[in-house]
Amino acid sequence: MVAVAAPSSPSSGASPSPLVSMPAALALTDAERGAVVRRIMGTADPSLAAFPAAVRRVVFSRHARYVQPLIAQHWPESLGERAGRKLRFLTCNLYATAPYTVLFSAPQPPFPVGPARWLGSRLGLSTTSLSRLAGVAVGATAAVLPALTERRILLFAAFIATIDHVYDHCLDGVDPVERGRRMGGLLDGTWTPDATTTHAGAFRLVRALHDEMQAGIDNDDDQRELDRALARLRDYVDAEVKAMTGVPDPSGCCWRMPGVLGTIDGLVFPVWRHAGEQARQWMYDVSLFVQVLDDYLDIVKDRGELRPTPMLTGHWDEATLEAIWSKTLDGIVALAKSSGVTDDNWLAFVRETYRMMALETAEAMGAGTAD
C-alpha cells in the first residue's frame, strides 16, 4: 500500500482534486476491475446457498414489517423508483444480513444457534448439510428473538442505507458546510425539511428511522451501546464535511473511517449482548473491505466528484483490497474458533458462506445496484 498526501482543499464548486500520481486502477475498464475483484475474492460454492437464502428470507420479511410502513409514510414516492429498490437492496442484502450472520460465529449465540452449532459439529456434517441446518436455525432464531431486537436490526440497517443515499444523491449543489449543518441538525432535531426542500421525503425518512431505532431503551447498558452508535453517526457527518472542504486526514484515508466504524456500531447495537468485542472488530474489517471495494470499483466515477478518496490519492490500491479481504476471511474463522468451534467443516462453512455473500454484494456493486 502506498501512502500519499491528501489533495489540497477544494471549494464547493471546485474541479475534482488532482491526482498525485495515476492509480493503476484508472487504466482498467470496469470489466477489468471486476475481474480483479473476482480473482482476489475467489469462487463461491453454490452448494452453500441454503443459509444465505434463509437469512434473506428473514430480513426481507422483517423489512416489510418494520421499514416499509415508515417509507410509505415519509417517502412514499421512492417505493416505485430506483432509489427505493436500491435502499431495499442495501438494507436487506448488505446491512441487515450482518447481525444475523455473525451470530453463527458469536461467543454467546442465541437459542437455537448454539444447539445447531453443537449438533452440526458433533455429527460431522458436510458443509452443504451445515448450510441447510443453519438455514433452519436462522429461521427458528428469528422466531424467538425479541421483536425489539429484530426491529432495531432492520431500522439501523435502513437508516445507514438511507443516510448514505441522502449524502450521495440529495445534496447536489449544496455547500459542504451547509450539508453538515443540515445533516447534523437532522440527527439532533434542530433542522427539519419543509415543503420547499428538495428531496424532503428522503430527509424525513432519515429522521423517522433515527427516532424509531431509539425506541424501547429501558436499561443503562443498552443506552450506552446506543449512545456509542449515535456518536459514531455524528462523527460520520462531521467527517464528510472535512473531506469535502479539504481538511487533511492524518490517516490518509480521506475521512472514510468514521463511516466505516459508524456503520458497524449501528449494526452491532441490536445484538451486542451476543456478538462480543471480537465480532465487532471483525465487522469493522468487513466494513472497511466494502469501502475499499466500493472506492476501487467506482474510481473512474469518483474522479469527477468533489470528495477525494484514498483510492484516488494512492493511499489504497489493489494490494489494499487483497490484504483486507484476506484479513476478513481469516477473521471469521478466528471468530468461530474463539467461540469454541473446532470442527473443520463448520469453520469451512462460515468462511465459505461469508465468501459467497460477499461475492454477491461485490457483483451487485459492480453492476451499479448499490449506487
- Domain spans, the chain: 24-366
Average pLDDT over residues 102-125: 92
- Contact indicator for 70, 200 with CB cutoff of 8 Å: no
HSE-CB for 127 with a 13 A CA cutoff? 16
| Cα dihedral 271/278/93/253 (nearest 10) | 120
What is the pLDDT at residue 162?
97
Q: How far is CA 175 from the centre of its chain?
A: 26
What is the pLDDT at residue 37?
98
Block residue for cell numbers 473511517:
257
Name the band, by pLDDT with cuts 50, 70 and 90, for residue 171.
Answer: very high
Q: Which positions ≥6 away from 253 have C-beta within 8 Å? A: 310, 315, 316
Average pLDDT over residues 253-282: 96
Instruction: Look at residues 369, 365, 362 and name the one whose alpha carbon lies nearest to residue 40.
Output: 362
| Bond prior to 112 in cis (omega within 30° of 0) | yes
pTM for this prediction: 0.91
The CA–CA distances, whole Å, from 307 to 203, 301, 347, 360, 361 equal 21, 11, 40, 27, 24
- Contact indicator for 191, 181 with CB cutoff of 8 Å: yes
- Contact indicator for 206, 162 with CB cutoff of 8 Å: yes
- Contact indicator for 356, 76 with CB cutoff of 8 Å: no
Average pLDDT over residues 14-32: 73
C-alpha to C-alpha distance for 34 and 38, rounded to whole angstroms:
6
**Is the pLDDT score of 115 beyond 50?**
yes
**Is the pLDDT score of 127 beyond 70?**
yes
Span 24-366 CATH architecture: Orthogonal Bundle (1.10)
What is the pLDDT at residue 191?
95
What is the pLDDT at residue 336?
95
Instruction: Look at residues 17, 3, 1 and name the one whose alpha carbon lies nearest to residue 245.
Output: 17
Name the band, by pLDDT with cuts 50, 70 and 90, for residue 239.
Answer: very high
C-alpha to C-alpha distance for 257 and 292, rounded to whole angstroms:
11
Reported as a single tens digit per residue, the pLDDT across 242-266 is 999 999 999 999 999 999 999 999 9
Name the band, by pLDDT with cuts 50, 70 and 90, for residue 304.
Answer: confident
Name the band, by pLDDT with cuts 50, 70 and 90, for residue 21.
Answer: low
- Contact indicator for 345, 126 with CB cutoff of 8 Å: yes
Q: Average pLDDT, whole number, for the chain?
A: 92
Average pLDDT over residues 340-346: 95
Beta strands in 33-144 (DSSP E): none
C-alpha to C-alpha distance for 358 and 350, rounded to whole angstroms:
12
Name the band, by pLDDT with cuts 50, 70 and 90, for residue 306.
Answer: confident
Helix orientation angle between 113-123 and 127-144, rounded to the nearest 10 degrees: 160
Average pLDDT over residues 183-206: 94
What is the pLDDT at residue 17?
42
C-alpha to C-alpha distance for 198 and 194, rounded to whole angstroms:
9
HSE-CB for 108 with a 13 A CA cutoff? 8
**Is the pLDDT score of 317 beyond 80?**
yes
The 10 Å Cβ neighbour count of residue 92 is 24
**Is the pLDDT score of 43 beyond 60?**
yes
What is the pLDDT at residue 13?
32
Task: Name the grid cell of 161.
Answer: 442505507
What is the pLDDT at residue 305?
84
What is the pLDDT at residue 3?
36
**Is the pLDDT score of 1 beyond 70?**
no
Q: Which positions ≥6 away from 284 have C-beta within 8 Å? A: 260, 261, 264
Average pLDDT over residues 195-204: 95
What is the pLDDT at residue 22?
79
